[in-house]
Amino acid sequence: MPSDFQVSRRQALAGLAALPLVSCTGGLSDAATGTMDTASAATRYPKPSLNALAQRGGRYFGSAIASTPGRTDAGSVQNPHYTDLIKAECGMVVPENEMKWQTVRPDPDTFDFSRMDDIAAWARTNKMALRGHTLLWHRPQWFPEWLNNYDYGANPVAEAERLVTEHIRAVTDRYRGVITSYDVVNEAIDHERNAPIETSLSRAMGSPEAVIDLAFSVAREQLPNGQLVYNDYMSWEPAHREHCDDVLRLLEGMMKRGTPVDALGIQSHIEMFEIDPATGVGPYAEREWRRFLDEVTGMGLRLLITEFDVKDKALPADIPERDRKIADYTRRYFDVMLDYDAHLDDILAWGMVDKFNWLQYFDPAERTDGLEVRGTPYSSDYEVKPMRTAIAQALIEAA
């Protein structure tokens, strides 16, 4: 029998298909939908699609996508070459930055949904499922500046609660019936303290936990049958061991307090910053990673792969060799994650084409030789890479 969330997701797809396109001031805006020659696009990409393979396991394969009004040279709904690839391979999209407070909330009294509306409109037109990312990125460096410096007045608790509640209600009301799975809170760990991070909101409310609990509680009120996700970048590399422990403590505390969290979003920005001589790829702690996943699923939480890509900094410059190593590392990771088939929901890449992937300008991931990071399933020329083949084979064997 399908879960309430599965039923609500099917209803959301029906809602997307029926959603009218109206002006930005009144609702969802028109999005650019121009495409390459249809026959060319239909034959350019492999069949079956990654989404078709994922659907055999009852999940979506999807990707982040942006909105860049006035620009077509991006991984966005305005780029017809990119959207042809997304349509060929994906069944779900998630906004890259367009739902974050910095974009949606330019000041305390204003909501600007225009760019997010572009993505929602494109998803509707192309019958794509849509995830929400994120209702609260609980880190000061990713708050809009006004929120870091906000005057909470004589009753700071009430004012902070009002801001968070107002924000989550505004977003979820706008995309009601369209988005049923949200990253409610993103990256809430302070790695210096090994504890939830302090922000202006947490100082006003008394603790980070109070903010996190409020965000999930409001989201549950808004989405009784939705999937509410805590999303973070803990990973299987040995260097992430403490981060995994911190996330477990956070989740355990949420469960004890009755915080309505349904799933853990595992960003899966897997990395090769050094090479393990035994494997020829980046070091990974499989036993410890499985123990982490066992503890998460043992709490009754679902898993999602929310932002997959590969950091190839330690690999050689030679492209064929580098791509083989990336595919090897990818396959090892997917084989582990798909062992949790009964607990694993959707799989999303954080972009499908190298040149538009965020790792090109993320300093810790940039290569010392100045070459492009090759961390996505397709090259900058939209050519299939071994990584794509590795993902496809992992999905086939897991089905």
Average pLDDT over residues 218-239: 98
> How far is 356 from 74, CA to CA, in rounded Å?
6
Q: pLDDT band at residue 14, thresholds of 50, 70 and 90?
A: low
Q: Which of 158, 83, 157 is nearest to 123 (CA)?
A: 83
> How far is 348 from 94, CA to CA, in rounded Å?
8
Average pLDDT over residues 127-153: 97
Residue 43: its pLDDT value, please? Answer: 72
| Across 37-46, 109-118, 214-223, 225-234, least confident range | 37-46
Over 50: is that where the pLDDT of 19 sits? no
> How far is 44 from 85, CA to CA, in rounded Å?
9
Round the CA-based radius of gyration of the chain to a whole number and report it.
Answer: 20
Over 60: is that where the pLDDT of 18 sits? no
| pLDDT tens per residue, range 348-378 | 999 999 999 999 999 999 999 999 999 999 9
**3-state SS, residue 89:** helix
* Contact by Cβ (8 Å): 281, 271: no
- pTM comes to 0.92
133: which strand partners?
183
> How far is 353 from 377, CA to CA, in rounded Å?
7
* CA angle, 128 then 180 then 176, to 5°: 95
Over 90: is that where the pLDDT of 32 sits? no
Handedness of CA 298, 301, 304, 310 (dihedral sign): negative
Over 80: is that where the pLDDT of 28 sits? no
What proportion of the chain, given as a percentage, has pLDDT over 90? 88
**Any idea which residue has 């950091």 for tokens?**
311
Q: Which residues of 380-396 are buried (b: 16+ CB within 10 A; e: fewer)?
A: eebeebbbbbbbbbbbe
* Contact by Cβ (8 Å): 241, 234: no
Q: Which residues of 327-352 are buried (b: 16+ CB within 10 A; e: fewer)?
A: bbbbbbbbebbbebeebbbbbbbbbb
What proportion of the chain, given as a percentage, has pLDDT over 70? 89
> What would the two tokens of residue 126 be?
């192309």
Residues 6+ apart with CB under 8 A from 157: 204, 205, 206
| pLDDT tens per residue, range 142-188 | 999 999 999 999 999 999 999 999 999 999 999 999 999 999 999 99
| pLDDT tens per residue, range 97-108 | 999 999 999 999
Mean pLDDT of the chain: 92
Over 80: is that where the pLDDT of 33 sits? no
| pLDDT tens per residue, range 259-316 | 999 999 999 999 999 999 999 999 999 999 999 999 999 999 999 999 999 999 999 9
Residue 3: its pLDDT value, please? Answer: 59
Residue 323: its pLDDT value, please? Answer: 98
